[in-house]
Structure 1
């Protein structure tokens, strides 16, 4: 524990502070434990590490936090129940999470056979082992158990070649299910097995234990079948419809024959009208009927009634239409959303007895970090629909020309509550990208709705985590989502006098793309007006209902206390939705004066190291609460008022000038000066190795030994490998034959600041073939890959699976300059001198000089085929200008050859360029200028 002196000091301070702070009031009649007292002190002094507190009478498994919550629940301590307790939260990665509660434990089940559990929706623990088999936690012998589904899709086939694709399960307790042993009641897990964007199957497995193992029951829906014999690439599966269970259903009289509309005129599956059989979720309606909704992109979202005793669908048997004109298919069921290959997946339906509505959540967009994934909400008075949004629009699209961006309440999309200069807290801000594929849970005991979903994060690549946000019913009967993740808050009456103040504000809008919506600053004035970056009014209705009017549009929602990760404290927030379907969020900021704002900006304002400037400076013009920053240069011939430099020529002396920042807010101002030293561009500064491949594998800096030729894998040295030389970007280049690589000297990179630059000429693309590869071990590595898992050129890392995607794939049979810069967790990736990716959180791989480095080979993948030239490795962070200069050193002439396909947009299930050379298209408004 702490020293006696510090302990006595803390006790004295607590005794003095607690009566004034309102953090807690002891119920002296009941008393508190030592653990509770430690947690109490923790709140006053904001110690983050609970492990600092140890008591001899405390069990090793006890948590001060959990003990404190018990004391709050028992009424022994007051003041924490409104959410002022510092949250303790742990994270897991479960994609496409589906929630269920068993006894006192919450569970989420997700894609790739991942699952986690929690006692409080804040701290999660995984208990699964992914695709491991045999011995799979959920399915035992995975391949054997789900063999019937895998005959159609999902195991070592097409897109799942070499592995499995078991996606987006939903688990439900069905008390009516009849088990083979005659008992009733089971946990039923409906999973998706998928091999392509349309060839998939939904099956179910059952267990009496929620954590498994689950035993296969049946496969209930197939998609992607064809009229005639056909096979996909890398597949032996015959896709003809007779290879599914459809003939059995027809023979049993459950279907009135096959439907000719299932097929296009070519005999292919008609995925414009009919669904991709994935993303199943189940629910009981108010009459006790069991339903399954499912679908992804393709023909939209469908609904089937299930027999609760067997878990099998009650197929309609006959085709038809609903009263409002929606499709009813004899096999797939009734269409309730989407269609015409527009985005829309991960459907989830739940019933709310207070409004007597069924709510449908669907996710639009593509799940990648650049895909604009976003959640939408509809509702209906019947489980079969029609499902409408706040403006009365039907979730089912009417034709191919109907865009879906204006349809559905947008619950959440890409956002970032930015940190302004002068604010404390995480400098990266707080935000999500591509949040989606949600499930919903209503906790009857707590009277709370929760939204559970996965999300990626700004500048963190494809890494994703589970998030839980509380939802609240607004006065119009729509659920609105809290701006922050759940931290124990409860909606309660708000004092009107506490509402006025400055807020960070986000409008999620309706359109979606890879762009991130950043927060702006507004003030809710005491006279009920809204000023700042936006204008409007606000009002408090009842205990906590909010009406926010911004630019003439009314939004209805709630005011609620919530934890702000930027301020690291609880604060007032609001969330509301308009009749157009736009969601707005606000997070209240601490009160500060204009003078305090100016001082805060003055103290925080920095330009980094300005002693060796080789690139234009990004000069900020705004600080906390709208503080203005204006710049004046003492010598515009060296650096302009906007940060544009004019560097000296190589060999000349550095140039020096002074930049003055004038900081102003209201009647207060301050000035801060920066000396800027502009130096010549020097391509050799920080250069530790340079392999020019002028007929050999030597390092021209003489810092390292020659490279060595390998076979097709790293460890196959001095084998049958062969590296030749031919014309490159300057002189010769190394030629890789697709069966060989180069082992570079160990230790080329050490530390967490370095840059790599090289020229690449891929002759052919082989997915995951590496150009530059570095590793500390087989589980800790980086790889610069021309063609990665998403058909994009990418800086890939096996340490926490970091994806630095450039958004497109470099073309074959053409020279490209690639570079990446790592600086203490920040990373940039460049293609032909242009920055294509920037992110944070890049892993620190090379902690010492034992790293292994290669060109063209790794331990697993097909070797690179093509050429490489002018590999340079630096122990510093290159500037953008230096990368640009390196990309301009080429002296080669473009090779002439036959015309090749540049782009191929199929519009079958996404907006991707299937040639892989460009990024995906983005959905915009009705005009090009409309975002």
Structure 2
């Protein structure tokens, strides 16, 4: 696992569980995050739920022993339960010598600690023992010749790559366990070497590999284990952590392990000894699941992409092996999430619902690989939202019920975590789907549920497939009696008679799952209908039913507005007039001259607080909801000079970069850092580094940069252009850092490539790590971060994208920041992080005050006007800028990225690119191949973004094979999408009215696609004498006289074959009273190629 630091996280990632039955450990918070479970009765006889006894075992691995469930986790923590709901901790963490599980920790596990995990490198002063897996092995031969033992496989770790897996045995599941052997090592080098802060020689001959070579198990080392300079090759080789064991259908014992780095690997295990069986030879396969002589067979990940805590569960009913892997970073803002694959063989290949192999084909984004089971979400019944669910275990109990066990963090600004247990059910296609609420003893109805029970309003969550740390929007939908779905998403639904199986079809994707009535997670006894389903797009959806009276509907609709009305704005906002649950909304403003009732703003020089009131109505029920919106003030110019500014236009005789700020001090180019001419920005700083380079190539700023910075704080601003597609890219590399003189030398301030911004000074610290808008690859953007006594704020192109509040007064006391004498751009090794791999910088500025958000915006506007950015356009024409880049090449394969920028003054709708390319594209992402004839390809959007607005850009990438010595390039290209009329017999339009009143009414148009191909980016024209006042699920392009031109929204712009879309509107009758007018003369167009 990759360790995230600053405020050091002691909890680290581990993997699932194994074998006969499984489950996970405990730590109990004084106050439960989300209350619920067994019913009790209060004095008013209102049924409530009893607070569950929680546990905080990180990386829980579950096992059942008799009638007791156990979860074992990182940091030698474990808990037990008899009902999977209430947990009791029985371990004592790293206490030694009286450790519950290991007694004298240092002596017992000395064999593993000799390589990593005790008072070494990043475990200085303590231990790092992570992600154990416990199970009963009836075939293990004990020292006294008897058979059967509880086995615990664990890992010890130092740094992000040097780790070891060992195992110990006991006759009691609760220990103590006695060490047996260390069986897997990682992080070794080809020759003598030492990690920072370590006395351990990492030469591979100091691992068990030497013994394996000596006894003939291995013929020698594999050159792929190492980079060209002899370092450990983390792109190919795994990090030896997160061991998990399972039995296959034939009773063979297997171990999976691995994290990030080279991926997850699998090995057979000798049941009698517990030792893994090394393959002894290297093999390639057509599936891409390579086998290494020592590590075993790769079954997931690779190329340093995220993926850890692997768990395999065999289900004899379906015949599948299910592989769970956790992606992204384990912290609350790390985006941690669980992915699912399956295979008919324990060694894979493991595929997701879209058919992708869990093993990556190269250094590509893994976000769209694997079914994402759980994202960051919150139903209304929860007191606080869930975040970073991961490092799960799973098991099938003796009654056949499948469970998912994992740790989760919360959307409360802390790193606190707890174990959660959810039921899982197999859908009609043999995939497990996860119950929306945690397990509270409910059983699913084998005969299903009545239609009356499932029809109604639901809160709806689509977990998507992003690795983002952002909370997912909680939407509202209605499952209607006629089997349509309406609300924030539209589609159809169905249920299978005498069964709990159900389907939902949204935007042409069918999600298959189950209905399940279960206890929600409110404080009261509340059994609600839910559904859970997954689609072929690797996305999972959940629904939780709401039973609402009109008085409740208006309040829920008001609550739903909270996510739609911003707390501050610089631009017009959308004020909906139709709310959820068939409510209507009228808006009133306290100051229409600044923000009117239609959401139009007029900015002044200062911030203005405007109160918006939404009057929400349904039937006779009315509810007023108020929102305070800050309309941000606007400064015309900043009127402030930076202390230091480096524009890279001028060097002195010593090749130093001159400062144009008000203080003295040139910057020094270190290593290969250089000045080059950039087409868009002129002379800029260019930094390139090999993988793992630390403090080698960067720009050094004056050592007194932060001298004298006290009460007013400081601001760092700069243009950056980072190649995040570079194979050596590391998201924690510093864009800018100041520290006290090197690694582990405080104070420190920094902003990294993922825009995480931090300060740690004089006993006070803050981390801004929840970033709403990451940097775009290979794009010039202006990055600013400000720090003062109240916290940190981070901006991209003048807009705030992250912040952290806190009392930082101590940071600035006694000129303490003057101790930050090591100040760099493109580098920062306070924690030994690698330098930025490939990036360009311009106009690096330091202000000795924290700019306000208005000043930051003004600064950005000045930067843009003084040196406007042009889109990158090595090949330009016909309103499109085309950029083709080869990211990586090996053998006769090439990995490339294409960037299309719209340089015209009109939106390119439903973009499709015709291109000539002398290669065979074998994989493509962020786009799709519409046709291929010889060397001519038509490549079109994959749905998002479907349109390219003026000045915007899209990127897609592909892997292709080719013949010959030189990698091919795209030679000819053109945009071939255009508007075309849909033939009349290919569609049908239905019109209806509802909710008529006085001279008003609600109308609906349904466009039915009767053809066998989709209608994309539809636009409909018609003549209509009644007046359309407002519209939803579409937008009016033009209205002249009786003629309307209307197009779909982004979520319903396409009409799948034999499907339909609908939009509604509020109308006014032409002459009052009743009207029989209907739309006429329909013309439907689409944008296609």
**Both proteins in one fold, TM over 0.5:** yes
Classify the TM-score, shorter chain: 0.5 to 0.7
Partner-residue secondary structure (3-state), 1:249: helix
2:514 is the alignment partner of 1:558: yes
The equivalent residue for 1:818 is 787
The equivalent residue for 1:442 is 396
CA contact (8 A) 1:765 1:787 kept: no
The equivalent residue for 2:443 is 490
The equivalent residue for 2:485 is 530
With CA pairs under 8 Å and 6+ residues apart, which has the higher RCO, 1 or 2? 1
2:208 is the alignment partner of 1:251: no
The structural deviation recorded for 1:148 is 1.4
The structural deviation recorded for 1:575 is 0.5
Distance 1:274 1:614 in 2: 48
The equivalent residue for 1:574 is 531
The structural deviation recorded for 1:174 is 0.9
The equivalent residue for 2:740 is 764
Partner-residue secondary structure (3-state), 2:277: coil
Distance 1:605 1:409 in 2: 30
CA contact (8 A) 2:267 2:276 kept: yes
Alignment deviations for residues 186-212 of structure 1 (CA, whole Å, 9 cap, x no partner):
211111111122221111111222222
Partner-residue secondary structure (3-state), 1:416: coil
CA contact (8 A) 1:768 1:786 kept: no
CA contact (8 A) 1:96 1:454 kept: yes
The structural deviation recorded for 1:497 is 1.7
Partner-residue secondary structure (3-state), 1:247: helix
Distance 1:856 1:730 in 2: 7
CA contact (8 A) 1:414 1:517 kept: yes
- Higher mean displacement: 176-185 or 541-550: 176-185
Q: Quick one: which of 347, 361, 377 aligns to 2:310?
A: 347
Alignment deviations for residues 853-884 of structure 1 (CA, whole Å, 9 cap, x no partner):
78679xxx998779999999xxxxxxxx9776
The structural deviation recorded for 1:815 is 11
The equivalent residue for 1:361 is 324
Matches within 5 A, 1:878-917: none
Distance 2:569 2:535 in 1: 49
Partner-residue secondary structure (3-state), 1:384: coil
The equivalent residue for 1:519 is 474
Distance 2:51 2:530 in 1: 20
Distance 2:943 2:118 in 1: 45
CA contact (8 A) 1:647 1:680 kept: yes
CA contact (8 A) 2:789 2:812 kept: no
Distance 2:535 2:132 in 1: 32
The equivalent residue for 1:510 is 465
Matches within 5 A, 1:83-482: 86=49, 88-322=51-285, 324=287, 326-397=289-360, 399-417=361-379, 419=380, 428=384, 430=385, 432-444=386-398, 446-482=399-435
Matches within 5 A, 1:602-681: 625=581, 627=583, 629-633=585-589, 635-637=591-593, 640-641=596-597, 642=599, 659-665=612-618
The structural deviation recorded for 1:796 is 8.9
Partner-residue secondary structure (3-state), 1:187: strand
Question: TM-score normalized by structure 1?
Answer: 0.65
Distance 2:632 2:813 in 1: 36
Question: TM-score normalized by structure 2?
Answer: 0.57
Distance 1:603 1:261 in 2: 56
Distance 2:408 2:822 in 1: 37
The structural deviation recorded for 1:326 is 2.9
Question: Any stretches of 5+ residues in structure 2 without a counterpart?
Answer: 1-37, 635-703, 715-735, 775-782, 824-845, 860-886, 889-923, 928-940, 946-1089
Against the structure 1 CA distance between its residues 854 and 204, is the aligned structure 2 distance closer, same or farther, given a 3 Å change threshold?
Answer: same
CA contact (8 A) 1:99 1:441 kept: yes
The structural deviation recorded for 1:358 is 1.5
The structural deviation recorded for 1:267 is 2.0
Partner-residue secondary structure (3-state), 1:518: coil
Partner-residue secondary structure (3-state), 2:276: coil
Against the structure 1 CA distance between its residues 618 and 137, is the aligned structure 2 distance closer, same or farther, given a 3 Å change threshold?
Answer: farther
- Higher mean displacement: 386-395 or 639-648: 639-648
Distance 1:174 1:504 in 2: 45
The structural deviation recorded for 1:265 is 2.8
Against the structure 1 CA distance between its residues 617 and 124, is the aligned structure 2 distance closer, same or farther, given a 3 Å change threshold?
Answer: farther
Partner-residue secondary structure (3-state), 2:405: strand
Distance 2:157 2:626 in 1: 60
Question: Alignment RMSD, CA only?
Answer: 4.9
Matches within 5 A, 1:688-767: 728=708, 762=738, 764=740
Question: Any stretches of 5+ residues in structure 1 without a counterpart?
Answer: 1-37, 49-85, 420-424, 608-612, 682-723, 735-759, 772-783, 823-827, 873-880, 890-905, 908-922
The structural deviation recorded for 1:331 is 1.4
Matched pairs, number: 705
Distance 2:350 2:627 in 1: 59
Distance 1:288 1:571 in 2: 40
Against the structure 1 CA distance between its residues 604 and 436, is the aligned structure 2 distance closer, same or farther, given a 3 Å change threshold?
Answer: closer
The structural deviation recorded for 1:802 is 10
The equivalent residue for 1:586 is 543
CA contact (8 A) 1:512 1:924 kept: no
The equivalent residue for 1:916 is none
CA contact (8 A) 2:224 2:233 kept: yes
Distance 1:679 1:321 in 2: 59
The structural deviation recorded for 1:439 is 0.7
The structural deviation recorded for 1:378 is 1.7
- Higher mean displacement: 282-291 or 151-160: 151-160
Partner-residue secondary structure (3-state), 1:502: strand
Against the structure 1 CA distance between its residues 186 and 791, is the aligned structure 2 distance closer, same or farther, given a 3 Å change threshold?
Answer: farther
The structural deviation recorded for 1:317 is 1.8
Distance 2:343 2:562 in 1: 54
Alignment deviations for residues 247-293 of structure 1 (CA, whole Å, 9 cap, x no partner):
11122222222223322332222332222211110011222211101
CA contact (8 A) 2:438 2:521 kept: no
Higher strand proportion (structure 1 or 2): 2
Against the structure 1 CA distance between its residues 194 and 930, is the aligned structure 2 distance closer, same or farther, given a 3 Å change threshold?
Answer: farther
CA contact (8 A) 1:794 1:806 kept: no
The structural deviation recorded for 1:340 is 2.0
CA contact (8 A) 2:500 2:516 kept: yes
CA contact (8 A) 1:796 1:804 kept: no
Against the structure 1 CA distance between its residues 678 and 450, is the aligned structure 2 distance closer, same or farther, given a 3 Å change threshold?
Answer: closer
CA contact (8 A) 2:470 2:770 kept: no
Against the structure 1 CA distance between its residues 507 and 43, is the aligned structure 2 distance closer, same or farther, given a 3 Å change threshold?
Answer: farther
Against the structure 1 CA distance between its residues 182 and 620, is the aligned structure 2 distance closer, same or farther, given a 3 Å change threshold?
Answer: farther
Distance 1:309 1:239 in 2: 31
Q: Quick one: which of 538, 548, 552 aligns to 2:504?
A: 548
Partner-residue secondary structure (3-state), 2:278: coil
